[in-house]
Amino acid sequence: MQLTTRGRYAVNVMVELAKQQEMKPAPLSGIAERSQISLSYLEQLISGLRKHGLVKSYRGPGGGYVLKKPANDIVISEILIAAEDITPAKRNKAKKPVADESASLWDHIGEFLYTKLKTLTLADVLKEKL
């Protein structure tokens, strides 16, 4: 698993939504402003999060996005996978450089990170219990 800026932004967006969980749906414009990312980029991120069942949208006045399940049921690895739109099959078939002498090291580090991120929930991030 690679950590990317896209994944980092996705985690930030999910944290924003988790903070709003008890309130009304959060409009994308407000999230974009607070997260300091463009609305068009945020729309791309949200699309992946919605496709992977992490967020739910409400249309119309007062509409916006909410978490589809409680923050303690969403693990960080899920968010990162949704942000990159990686299916398990794609994850296992990622292209590797032909002449990378340290590929096995980076694969090992990636798997270590993935294992750790499967244990951290969005609620842990909110409570800073890392």
Which residues, including other chains, have CB under 8 Å from residue 67's CB and lie 6 or more apart? 14, 17, 18, 21, 54, 55, 56, 74, 122
At 4 the pLDDT is 84
**Two structure tokens written together for 40:** 């068009």
At 119 the pLDDT is 92
At 99 the pLDDT is 63
Beta bridge partners of 66: 56
Residues of the chain below pLDDT 50? none
At 85 the pLDDT is 76
Domains and CATH numbers, the chain: 5-127 (1.10.10.10)
Instruction: Tell me the whole-structure pTM to 2 decimals.
Output: 0.81
**Two structure tokens written together for 26:** 């959060």
| Residue 46, CB-side half-sphere exposure with 13 Å CA sphere | 24
| Contact assessment for residue 103 and residue 96, using Cβ atoms and an 8 Å cutoff | yes
| Contact assessment for residue 107 and residue 1, using Cβ atoms and an 8 Å cutoff | no
